[in-house]
Amino acid sequence: MLAVARTFTVVGVAAQRVDVEVDVRRGLAAFSLVGLPDTAVRESRERVRAAVSNSGFEFPLQRITASLAPADLRKAGPGFDLAIAAALLAASGQLSPDALDRYWLAGELALDGSIRPVPGVLAMAEEARRNGADGIAVAAANASEAALIDGLDVVPLHNLGQLAELGAGLAPVERSTAISPSEDNGTGPGGPDLAELRGQPALRRALEVAAAGGHSMLIVGPPGAGKSLAARRLPTLLPPLARAEAIEVTRIASVCGRPPPPGTLAGRPFRAPHHTISAAGLVGGGNPPRAGEVTFAHGGVLFLDELGEFSRAALDALRQPLEDGSVTVTRARHSIEFPCRFMLVAASNRCPCGHGVESRRCRCPEASVRRYEAKLSGALADRIDISISVEQPSAEALRSAPGERSTAVRDRVAAARERQAARLGEGRCNADMTPAETRRHCRRDGEAREVLERSHARLGLSGRGYERVSRVARTIADLYGTDGVGAEHVGEALTLRRRHADG
Residues binding other proteins (CB under 8 A): 199-205, 220-221, 350, 357-360, 366, 369-370, 373, 376-377, 387-391, 393, 397, 447, 450-451, 454-455, 458-459, 476, 486-488, 490-497, 499-503
Which among 404, 377, 385, 395 has a CA at the least distance from the CA of 467?
A: 385
How near is the Cβ of 270 to other proteins at its closest, in Å? 23
Contact call for residues 51 and 81 (beta carbons, < 8 A): yes
How near is the Cβ of 423 to other proteins at its closest, in Å? 22
How near is the Cβ of 310 to other proteins at its closest, in Å? 17
Contact call for residues 289 and 298 (beta carbons, < 8 A): no
CA distance 51 to 53: 5
How near is the Cβ of 179 to other proteins at its closest, in Å? 37
How near is the Cβ of 482 to other proteins at its closest, in Å? 12
CB nearer to other proteins: pick between 117 and 491: 491
CB nearer to other proteins: pick between 127 and 208: 208
The neighbouring-strand residues paired with 75 are 37
CB nearer to other proteins: pick between 377 and 438: 377
Burial 82-100 (b: 16+ CB within 10 A, else e): bbbbbbbbbbbebbebebb
How near is the Cβ of 450 to other proteins at its closest, in Å? 6
How near is the Cβ of 388 to other proteins at its closest, in Å? 6
CA distance 227 to 215: 17
The neighbouring-strand residues paired with 25 are 63
How near is the Cβ of 503 to other proteins at its closest, in Å? 5
CB nearer to other proteins: pick between 77 and 308: 308
CA distance 265 to 179: 7
In the sheet that 343-348 helps form, which strands lie side by side, from edge to edge? Answer: 270-271, 301-304, 343-348, 217-220, 386-389
User: Dihedrals φ, ψ of 118, to 5°?
Assistant: -130, 155
CB nearer to other proteins: pick between 40 and 362: 362
How near is the Cβ of 390 to other proteins at its closest, in Å? 6
CB nearer to other proteins: pick between 35 and 393: 393
Contact call for residues 185 and 242 (beta carbons, < 8 A): no
Burial 430-440 (b: 16+ CB within 10 A, else e): bbbbeeebbee
DSSP string across 292-338: -HHHHTTTSEEEESSGGGS-HHHHHHTHHHHHHSEEEEE-SS-EEEE
Alpha-carbon Rg for the chain, nearest whole angstrom, is 27
| Non-local CB neighbours of 77 within 8 Å, separated by 6+ positions | 9, 10, 38, 40, 41, 118, 119
How near is the Cβ of 117 to other proteins at its closest, in Å? 47
DSSP string across 52-86: HHHTT-----SEEEEEEESTTS-B-SSTTHHHHHH
How near is the Cβ of 493 to other proteins at its closest, in Å? 8
Helix 201-213 and helix 227-237, axial crossing angle in degrees, nearest 10: 40
CB nearer to other proteins: pick between 320 and 389: 389
CB nearer to other proteins: pick between 82 and 364: 364
CB nearer to other proteins: pick between 6 and 419: 419
CB nearer to other proteins: pick between 118 and 225: 225
CB nearer to other proteins: pick between 86 and 376: 376
Helix 487-495 and helix 463-480, axial crossing angle in degrees, nearest 10: 120
CA distance 250 to 242: 12
